[in-house]
Chain A
Amino acid sequence: MDRTCHMGALFVISSLRTIFILTGLLFTMTTQASAAVKSEIVCVQCHGSQTGRFAKPVELWRGSIHAENGINCNHCHGGDPGDAENAMSPARGFLGTPVETGIPGFCGRCHVGVLKDYLGSKHGKNLGKGGPTCITCHGSHQVKKTTIELINEKNCSRCHSYEKPSQIKRAMTATEAKIVYIDSRLSDFKGKGIDTSAMEKSLFAVRNRFHTLFHELNVARINLQTAEIDKELEQQLQSIKRLDETEQKRKLVGVMAIASALLAALVLRLYVKSMD
């Protein structure tokens, strides 16, 4: 923030210079260049200033995919994020912390498709009978972007053997790698002003379909659906290839343009020399 404020001051210096020169104006005030920043919600203000277990959720949430996407405390827990006194009032929709069997429904208000996948899986069928809930694997506040790395021996072997999860992981790894690669390339292209919105939407849909397999425990079905997803990803890879080719063509034109300019400069220089 401090850097941003300072940057603002220097941007204006160029326009102030003329004023300095023409009027010799002496500044008597210091610049208070503070950018308009959205203030934090009261939940974060209050819990963030505490220590111990009350502060922990805020600390964990700050590093989560939820925080990254602007999903705040009230989006899950309800309440009034703008009124400190009534922030946790049930009258303002505060839900508090769900009981164990209520957790899938709690998360499933937003992740509707995932809830359906989970409830249909062996994991979901064992809800309340020792089976895992969403937070067992995903965490409660430091929710991370879902990747295949969530399937690992440390996580899975807390409840059962790692043999079957390792088969599932093997079946999905190559597809996951393609998705990560495409995502990274799209981010690069986006950073160059290329309109990737259609491809991003398509990848979002494919990735969501792929992630539904994360709750699927039937390896044969995973293989079948992964093959279909791979076909769609192949189309995206072809689009990326075309974009790469366009970039290469532009560079080739660039080489020719540079060479032409240099050649013209050389010819002109020789012509000038011949006139001396």
Chain B
Amino acid sequence: MSLYKNIDNWLDVRLGTHSLIEKELTGYLLPRNINAWYSLGSVLLFIFSLQIVTGILLLIYYVPDADKAFASVTMIMNRVPFGWLVRMCHVVGSNMMVLILLFHMLSVLFMGSYKSPRELNWLSGFILFNLVMAISLTGYLLPWSQLSYWATTVATNSVGAIPFIGSYLVEFLRGGKLVGPPTLGRFFALHVAVIPITIAAFVGIHLVLLQRIGVSTPPFGLKETKSNWRGDTFRYEEHPGGIPFFPNYLLQDMTSIMLYLALFFAVLFFDPYLFLPKDAFIPADPFLTPAHIKPEWYFLPNYQTLKLFPSEFLGLAVQGAAMTFLALLPFIDRGTEKHPLKRPLFMACSIGGILLWIGLAIWGHFS
């Protein structure tokens, strides 16, 4: 018996690996009409892992001290072997994570995968989306550049708008009256510990929910596109005669990851500064406000919306209402039809919403 077989047998006796592999990999069947959009979840897991690895590497040299942070990032970019690559991977990766996350959410929306009984999958995913936004925001401060400093100053100022507790919350976030060294400490802890752990926990919840309920069937290429589940008892959505996750769909996942990497490398090596304006390379100066500071691309629609309304309260309220609607969508949209072309109201609203979002982002960029 070969060494491999010996080890395989040894593990199977103790852990039941053969049955585990059968259940979770080779015997884990997916719908026959599954498409590439379903692999975006795996792409996101890959990106998150890459962010963790590059983040840990950056932690080796980064100093979370207001007097040393900028210099430490400059050192990483210029003196640490391949430091520029690690840092730019982390920066580009964070932006790409938001982009792919948006595509993942859109695919779930268009294929009706958020519908009952997957309300909790959608909610956990929506919370993950907000957590990714939060980790991006906290990471913004860490290089202690002009961009970091002023973005955080105005962001923490805005928390003051929350009734009753706003001013206390501002001081709590900043660790003082103004953004300063204590703020960096707080954001650092949030960015490298609290939020990543929370994201990991919600990823786990998201995957457990997926594993319990089963993969949804895409509505394309089928005669019957309505969900037949009545919601009276628990049901695992099985796909008899489907394709196995391993090796078939895992290869599709890997193909998508490779295509993602091609896009990632294109941005990384040819225009990583797409996400880093010049102010990102100037040390923070509390006495000098940069003239033209704009938010990251995914906040541009929010930025422009706030400018459109006569009061900031209205702008915030409208956006809050829109986000609340999106979070509660599976509870509002109770229809069983999943095919987007058979949901004209949904199609009109979603395409209109996407165009509005893109339009506001472009407007915000050039305004």
CB-based contact B130/A12 at 8 Å: no
CB-based contact A16/B316 at 8 Å: yes
CB-based contact A261/B130 at 8 Å: no
- The 0/1 profile, CB within 8 Å of A marked 1, for residues 121-144 of chain B is 000000100100110010000000
**In the complex, what residues of B have CB within 8 A of residue A1's CB?**
289
The answer to the question of A227 belonging to the interface, with a C-beta cut-off of 8 Å to chain B, is no
CB-based contact B302/A194 at 8 Å: no
**Number of residue pairs A-B, CB distance < 8 angstroms:** 205
- The 0/1 profile, CB within 8 Å of A marked 1, for residues 73-93 of chain B is 010011100001001000000
CB-based contact B266/A254 at 8 Å: yes
Q: Considering the chains assembled together, what is the distance between the CA atoms of A30 and B179 in angstroms?
A: 22
Q: Considering the chains assembled together, what is the distance between the CA atoms of A27 and B162 in angstroms?
A: 7
- The 0/1 profile, CB within 8 Å of B marked 1, for residues 29-48 of chain A is 11111111110000000000
- The 0/1 profile, CB within 8 Å of A marked 1, for residues 299-330 of chain B is 10011011100011101110111011001100
Name the residue among A10, A13, A28, A29 with the largest chain B CB count within 10 angstroms.
Answer: A10
The answer to the question of A158 belonging to the interface, with a C-beta cut-off of 8 Å to chain B, is no
User: Nearest Cβ distance between residue B353 and chain A, in whole angstroms?
Assistant: 16
Chain B interface residue count, Cβ-Cβ cutoff 8 angstroms: 75
CB-based contact B306/A9 at 8 Å: yes
Chain A interface residue count, Cβ-Cβ cutoff 8 angstroms: 58
CB-based contact B262/A258 at 8 Å: yes
CB-based contact B258/A264 at 8 Å: yes
B residues 251-277 in Cβ contact with A at 8 Å: 251-252, 254-255, 258-259, 261-262, 265-266, 268-270, 273, 276
Neighbour of A195 across the interface among B77, B127, B305, CB < 8 A: B77
CB-based contact A11/B134 at 8 Å: no
Stretch at the interface among B46-54, B57-65, B147-155, B228-236: B147-155
**In the complex, what residues of B have CB within 8 A of residue A275's CB?**
247-248, 251
Q: Considering the chains assembled together, what is the distance between the CA atoms of A70 and B285 in angstroms?
A: 12
CB-based contact A10/B303 at 8 Å: yes
Question: Do most interface residues of chain A lie in helix, strand or loop, or is the interface mixed?
Answer: helix
Instruction: Specify the chain B residue showing the minimal Cβ separation from A264.
Output: B258
Q: Considering the chains assembled together, what is the distance between the CA atoms of A17 and B292 in angstroms?
A: 26
Instruction: Specify the chain A residue showing the minimal Cβ separation from B279.
Output: A191
CB-based contact A37/B289 at 8 Å: yes
With A193-B281, A272-B251 in contact, is A12–B158 under 8 Å at CB? yes
The answer to the question of B26 belonging to the interface, with a C-beta cut-off of 8 Å to chain A, is no
CB-based contact A30/B157 at 8 Å: no
Neighbour of A254 across the interface among B150, B270, B290, B305, CB < 8 A: B270
With A193-B77, A262-B258 in contact, is A11–B151 under 8 Å at CB? yes
Instruction: Specify the chain A residue showing the minimal Cβ separation from B303.
Output: A10
**In the complex, what residues of A have CB within 8 A of residue B273's CB?**
191-192
A-B residue pairs in contact (CB < 8 Å), sample of 10:
A1-B289, A4-B150, A8-B158, A20-B324, A21-B328, A38-B287, A193-B77, A193-B78, A193-B276, A250-B269
The 6 A-B pairs with the shortest beta carbon distances in the complex, nearest first, are A8-B154, A254-B269, A14-B133, A31-B161, A11-B155, A10-B302
